[in-house]
């Protein structure tokens, strides 16, 4: 049998991916030089847990943790992003994604998942401290990078204080398993099923978070009509009561802004620290999503502060 190994892609993590050809069969080789626990052990553990619950995740074929190598099932080379871009019925594809989110949300939340003989992977919760930890990437990387350290220091405390007030308003607490990066680039159609990848950051959190990741995806400009209809489809298929809808909408908007502030920080860090300038092209649309959600009146103070700190010209920049 002839073996052939070909590098296929990289992502925002420290992993590298290769397609292994074994005759007519293929598999994916994942390597991780850094953060091996998260990128290999956590990934395979959560994949196995979700697979047992009926979620289509890559099957683990073999792993060699000391060498930082794992072999998993090959879901092909086209993510759902490819199909969304070409489809004339984008809403139908988004509805299928919502069905997967709802299926994940029906899984009984667990605090830890067993791997090995007597080891456990702990699932953290999206408490206020963790929300701040993520949005701090905006203050640590993006803000000083685009307006300078001195001006950044001036606004950091004010913006963080306002975010804290907003995070305290989140109504639905950590009652659901959250994928945490559920967007069309992490969903792969395979054998009439939607395969889910990049599960290693799963956490216990709010029911809106994965819907935010899907609907307010910075990598693809989804028309507002489809965003709204996808949100309404979720409401119609979920078991939430009518009186809870306003709380769900507020949670959605708060988490969208939190997530997109984090993304501004991550993508600027990828540019500055990891020499990946290709991520800068997403920054203007990320700001558009933040501005869209700030139309909710609960963001009046935050909107005023951010306008003073970061002007429109900076928000639209793709090169620094």
Q: Identify the architecture of domain 3-73 in CATH.
A: 2-Layer Sandwich (3.30)
Residue 12 clears pLDDT 70, i.e. is over it: no
**Mean pLDDT computed over 119-124:** 93
Residue 1 clears pLDDT 70, i.e. is over it: no
**Mean pLDDT computed over 58-87:** 92
- pLDDT for residue 272: 96
Residue 114 clears pLDDT 80, i.e. is over it: yes
Q: List, by residue range, all CATH 3.90.1200.10 domains of the chain.
A: 80-315
Q: Three-state SS across the chain? A: CCEEEEEEEECCCCEEEEEEEECCEEEEEEEECCCHHHHHHHHHHHHHHHHHCCCCCCCEEEEEHHHCEEEEECCCCCCHHHHHHHCCCHHHHHHHHHHHHHHHHCCCCCCEEEECCCEEEECCECCHHHHHHHHHHHHHHHHHHHHCHHHHHHHHHHHHHHHHHHHCCCCCCCCEEECCCCCHHHEEEECCEEEECCCCCCEEECCCHHHHHHHCCCCCCCCHHHHHHHHHHHHHHCCCCHHHHHHHHHHHHHHHHHHHHHHHHHHHHHHHCCCCHHHHHHHHHHHHHHHHHCCCHHHHHHHHHHHHHCCHHHHCCCCC
Topology of the domain comprising 80-315: Aminoglycoside 3'-phosphotransferase; Chain: A, domain 2 (3.90.1200)
Lowest mean pLDDT among 64-73, 225-234, 285-294: 64-73
**Mean pLDDT computed over 257-280:** 96
Q: List, by residue range, all CATH 3.30.200.20 domains of the chain.
A: 3-73
């Amino acid at each position: 049998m002839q073996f052939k190994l070909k590098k296929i892609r990289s992502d925002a993590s420290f992993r590298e991916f290769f397609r292994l050809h074994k005759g007519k069969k293929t598999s994916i080789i994942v390597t991780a030089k850094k953060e091996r626990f998260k990128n290999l052990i956590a990934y395979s553990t959560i994949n196995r847990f979700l697979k047992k619950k009926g979620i289509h995740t890559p099957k683990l074929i073999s792993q060699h943790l000391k060498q930082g190598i794992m072999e998993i099932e090959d879901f092909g080379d086209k993510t759902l992003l490819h199909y969304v871009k070409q489809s004339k019925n984008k809403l139908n594809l988004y509805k299928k994604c919502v069905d997967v989110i709802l299926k994940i949300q029906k899984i009984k939340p667990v605090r830890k998942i067993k791997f090995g003989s007597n080891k456990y992977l702990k699932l953290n919760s999206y408490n206020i401290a963790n929300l701040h930890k993520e949005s701090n990437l905006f203050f640590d990387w993006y803000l000083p990078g685009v307006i300078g350290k001195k001006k950044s220091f001036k606004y950091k405390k004010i913006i963080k204080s306002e975010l804290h007030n907003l995070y305290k308003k989140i109504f639905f607490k950590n009652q659901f398993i959250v994928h945490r990066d559920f967007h069309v680039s992490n969903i792969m159609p395979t054998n009439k099923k939607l395969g889910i990848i990049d599960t290693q950051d799963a956490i216990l959190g709010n029911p809106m978070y994965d819907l935010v990741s899907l609907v307010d995806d910075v990598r693809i400009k989804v028309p507002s009509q489809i965003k709204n209809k996808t949100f309404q489809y979720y409401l119609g298929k979920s078991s939430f009561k009518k009186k809870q809808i306003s709380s769900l909408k507020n949670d959605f908007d708060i988490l969208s802004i939190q997530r997109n502030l984090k993304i501004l920080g991550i993508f600027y860090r990828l540019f500055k620290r990891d020499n990946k300038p290709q991520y800068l092209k997403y920054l203007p649309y990320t700001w558009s999503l933040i501005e869209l959600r700030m139309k909710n009146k609960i963001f009046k103070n935050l909107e005023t502060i951010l306008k003073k700190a970061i002007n429109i010209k900076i928000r639209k920049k793709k090169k620094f």
